[in-house]
Amino acid sequence: MNDVLYIKSDDVLTPEEARKVLKIGKNQMYRLLKEERIRHFKIGSSIRIPRMCLEQYISKTLEAHNGNTD
């Protein structure tokens, strides 16, 4: 079976691009990656973040925040 996956260039982000989306600093971005709170993969030593994984992180964070209302 030859399943073909078509990916646009903006479907995969660098940590720099992802941190700009989240409006956070470099250290915080790499902490989230190290703690595996944002799923990612490596190509050699380069880190790449699928946009879908960034969106999942945002959704989970919103759910956690909304669940902790006082």
Q: What's the rounded Cα separation, in Å, for the pair 56 and 32?
A: 13
| Tokens (6 digits) for 39 | 């799923």
- Choose between 38 and 6: higher pLDDT: 38
pLDDT digits over 35-62, tens only?
999 999 999 999 999 999 999 999 999 9
pLDDT digits over 12-39, tens only?
999 999 999 999 999 999 999 999 999 9
DSSP-assigned beta bridge partners for residue 50: 12
Asked if pLDDT for residue 70 goes beyond 60, the answer is no
Q: What is the mean pLDDT of the chain?
A: 90
Q: What's the rounded Cα separation, in Å, for the pair 26 and 65?
A: 23
Asked if pLDDT for residue 1 goes beyond 80, the answer is no
For residue 23, is it left (φ>0), alpha (ψ between -120 and 50) or beta?
left
| Tokens (6 digits) for 54 | 């960034």
